[in-house]
Amino acid sequence: MTLTTTAREQTRALYPDQQGSIERDGVRVSWERYGSGEPTLLLLPAWSIIHSRQWKAQIPYLARHYRVVTFDGRGNGRSDRPSVAEAYDDAEFVADAVAVLDATGTGRAVLVGLSRGGRWAVELAAARPERVLGAVLIDPAIGFVAPPHPWWTQPFDEELDTDEGWAKWNRHYWLRHYLEFLEFFAGEVFPELHSTKQIEDMVGWGLETTAETLVLTQLGSQPASREEMEAILGRVRCPVLVVHGDDDRVRPLAIGVAAAELTGGTLVAIEGGGHCPQARHPVRVNLCIREFVESLGGRVR
Amino acid sequence: MTTVQARQAGRAAGEQTRARYPDDEGHVEREGVRVFWERYGDGEPTVFLLPTWSIVHARFWKAQIPYLARHFRVVTFDGRGNGRSDRPEGAAAYSEREFAADALAVLDATATERAVLVSLSCGALWSTLLAADHPGRVDGIVYIGPAVGLAPPHPERAVHSFFEPLDTDEGWARYNRHYWLRDYRGFLQYFFSRCLTEPHSTKQQEDCVAWALEIAPETLIDTEQGLLLCGLESFERQCRRLRCPVLVVHGDEDAIRPHAQGAALAAATGGRLVTLAGAGHLPQARDPVKVNLLIREFVESLGGRVR
């Protein structure tokens, strides 16, 4: 397999004002800071199939109004790629987020989390309420609070006798046909018409890590039980906004609905939106984020 | 018709939402053929966005109208054969002289004394003719991806006959009237994939194919034959008659009309040539900001001449 590419980054609409890295247990995680307004928004990583450029359509807008901090999740971008599955436990990503808040001198922040980042935002808000002003969950991947899509039931670990459709969600297939998996998955993430650019971006970011690393991120993530997840959501005390595409083929809208209910948050369903509305409906999502941040008002200052 | 009525009419026809709706609309009739026009904004001067080949209609200017109408008065019309205009039968109804005469009639109907013309592809034929015959009505011309025979065509487009049945459907062999009648949509998809060669052009391709489905292949064959009547020698003569300022905008990856044709037109008219790097045949759709700024800059440069 010759998928190693020298990542030549695209031009950015806005470049960071500051960047650095934190290190935990020998794993370095790179962060960036844009703008200097109030409050700080921490745009969390998602699954390490992508990295912080996933927020490229948010950063320039939000940084005009707020201080914006991002970081590359371990396993992709300019962060390290540890070689053991335990390093990709959800608790590690949450701990990275806290370390980035510390390193950037951020006392409290509004969290914005996409997909798995939505789960980490909830866990961080529940565990460290004094650091979190509010949480925006975009198509959150919070397992078991609602049933998964029926097509997402194939065993990840076993050799299957088919490569069709979601049977590609399989470690053996990833190791065999990583590029084909990325193309398939990106196609499912973006069901919206005319998404070729977003699909190409996602595949490109996916190629900055490896199938082997991605398998570790999958094995390292411990699915919480429904009761555990509901308990965590119930402990969230900050305001919550859930934005969820109603055509999300990766994580059904029902998850977003349940997350909003269990946190007492507000739900905005994006009509026709897939799993990454921040990329495909950026203006809508940006205005939702801004309105939410503004609504925190006195709480923030 | 009011703007609200127009909006409802558009909706009834299944038209997409527009970023801006016309302030006025109407039609002119010449020899029994009705041609439908729209007017947006009321600034100065008037920018007249001409039709191109009737494979598409005036919506191909959709990325120009909202911007230009903030600064200028903008007039468009659907070329005969597509949109809300009539579809006369026979190739003779689609000669460049008919399109130029329609354009003049629209200027009159909209009480437009003078205008800056903007033309795309084949529209170069009628913008040139209109300006040459009526220099008092034209302050300048912007040519985008002009389809003019002043330089040779792409070699791959000169292989197959348009009229004769072919034994292949590959590539440009689809530019053939028998193929159009057999698989019209297949032709459209191929043709617009060659018009819009830039990555991530699926939306623009889909728009164009949908507009092209508003004209029947039989009518499109008439328009193609009508355009074939246009002689190179006479076009060169028309170019030499032009007295107004000219801007030519041409993509250097135009797979329909070679960049050399735009360069030759700029040379023949003493105009300025702007080359768009990496652009295909429809930069007004795929590089709209760049094209809009070029049009505006050109119009502003006419300054005192216009007012």
pLDDT in tens, B165-203: 999 999 999 999 999 999 999 999 999 999 999 999 999
Question: What is the chain A residue with the closest CA to B207?
Answer: A194
CA distance B145 to chain A (A): 25
B contact test, residue of A10, A192, A193, A194 with most B CBs within 10 A: A194
Average pLDDT, stretch A185-209?
A: 98
Report the CATH number that the domain containing residue A94 is assigned in CATH: 3.40.50.1820
Least Cα separation, residue A67 to chain B (angstroms)? 30
CB contact under 8 A, A197 and B203: no
Model ipTM value: 0.78
> Min CA distance, A35 vs chain B (Å)?
27
Q: What is the average per-residue pLDDT within B293-301?
A: 98
For A222, residues 6+ apart whose C-beta sits below 8 A from its C-beta are: A89, A90
Q: What is the spatial distance between Cα A101 and Cα A125, in angstroms, rounded to a whole number?
A: 13
The whole-number pLDDT of residue A8 equals: 74
**Which value, to the nearest 10 degrees, does the dihedral of the CA atoms of residues A105, A107, A113, A116 take?**
80
A88 located within any domain: yes
> What band does A299 get if pLDDT is binned at 50, 70 and 90?
low
Instruction: End-to-end CA distance of chain B: give it in Å, rounded.
Output: 30
Query: Residue type at B203?
Result: K
Domain assignment present for residue A133? The answer is yes
Q: Which of A263, A286, A268 is nearest to A123 (CA)?
A: A263
> Does any domain span residue A172?
no
Angular region, A111: left φ>0, alpha ψ -120 to 50, beta rest: beta
Interface size A-B, in CB pairs within 8 Å, comes to 14
- Residues of chain A in contact with residue B202, where contact means CB-CB under 8 angstroms, are 193-194, 196
At A154, the pLDDT band (50, 70, 90 cuts) reads: confident
Rounded mean pLDDT, A136-156: 91
Average of per-residue pLDDT values in chain B? 93
Query: Does residue A289 fall inside a structural domain?
Result: yes
Chain B CB contacts of A196 below 8 Å: 199-200, 202
- Average pLDDT (A247-259) is 97
The range of the structural domain enclosing residue A82 comes to 18-147+223-299
Decide if A197 and B206 are in contact by the 8 Å CB cutoff: no
pLDDT of B230 reads 61
**A196·B206 Cβ contact <8 A:** no
Domain total in chain A? 1
The class level of CATH for B3-155+231-305 reads: alpha beta
The residues, ordered by sequence, that sit 6+ positions from B104 with a Cβ below 8 Å of its Cβ are B130, B134, B137
In a domain, A106, yes or no: yes
pTM, to two decimals: 0.86
C-alpha–C-alpha distance, residues A31 and A105, integer Å: 12
